[in-house]
Amino acid sequence: MVTVQFLGSGDAFGSGGRFQPCISVRSDPHHWLLDCGASSLIALRRFGLDPISVDTVTLSHLHGDHFAGIPFLVLDAQFRRRERPLTIVGPPGVTERVHQLMEVTFPGSSRTERRFDLRFIELAERTTTTLGEFAVSAYEVPHPSGAPAYAFRLAVDGKLLAYSGDAAWTEALVEVADGADLFICEAYVFDKLVPHHLSYATIRQHRARMACGRLILTHMGPEMLARRDEAEDECAEDGLTLTL
Ligand SMILES: [Zn+2]
Ligand SMILES: [Zn+2]
């Protein structure tokens, strides 16, 4: 059984009082996070999940609302004497960007000796990387962030979870969604035109071609939140938990 829990279903700016992007995926005893926005350590605690239980954090792209929670997660683990390795998976450049982020936020923290290994895996596009029970495939999507931005297909326990990350529309999302039991898709705006992000109107336009089971909208900004009752697809809430 795979448990998916939205710890952060908001945008970068705390719209609606929501936490920044962070989705917990658990298949006992393994625990992955999809994205780790700046507020994610607080969100883990808010929903009663021990941050130490996280094995792997998979980062869709290197914007603060998706990866700036890493220094807090690492320092918390260090102060609580974590011993199991923590793996950070992300696009090419993730190792250097996380080290830079740690040095800016907590100088010296990237070089501190720890009881646990902090491991990095830089994902190549359209290859599958297997980590324990999980197999992740990355698809590049248009979203400028100083490194390639990825959408993911995550296979675990016979289930397929797809995640758009942040993305302007691309046909790659049709491939990412294909056959997924659950497709978590950003909908930053309802029908406004905003560069580098998806609107719900665009998702509807292509919805019939996205051959996924359940589709849940996330990363909602103020306009999308205000109009979410008009959406025919399900909208995430912080804390929403479902099983696959
Ligand atoms: Zn972004
Ligand atoms: Zn974002």
Provide the residue ranges of all domains of the chain, joining segments of one domain with +.
3-234
Please identify, in words, the CATH class of the domain defined by 3-234. Answer: alpha beta
Question: Using one digit for the tens of pLDDT, what is the confidence trace for 144-189?
Answer: 999 999 999 999 999 999 999 999 999 999 999 999 999 999 999 9
Q: Which two tokens stand for residue 81?
A: 């004497």
Closest ligand relative to 149 C-alpha: 1
Residues with CB under 5 A from ligand 1 (ion): 63, 166
Per-residue model confidence (pLDDT) at position 72: 98
- Quote the tokens at residue 159: 């289930």
Burial status of residue 188 (CB atoms within 10 A of its CB: 0-12, 13-18, 19 or more): buried
- Render pLDDT for 114-134 as a digit per residue (tens, 0 to 9): 999 999 999 999 999 999 999
Question: How far is the centre of ligand 2, averaged over its atoms, from the C-alpha of 243 (Å)?
Answer: 25
Band of residue 207 on the pLDDT scale cut at 50, 70, 90? very high
Please report which residue ranges of the chain form alpha helices under DSSP H.
40-46, 64-67, 70-79, 94-105, 172-177, 200-206, 222-226
User: Which one of the ligands is nearest to 186 CA?
Assistant: 2
How much is the pTM? 0.97
Ligand nearest to the CA of 196: 1
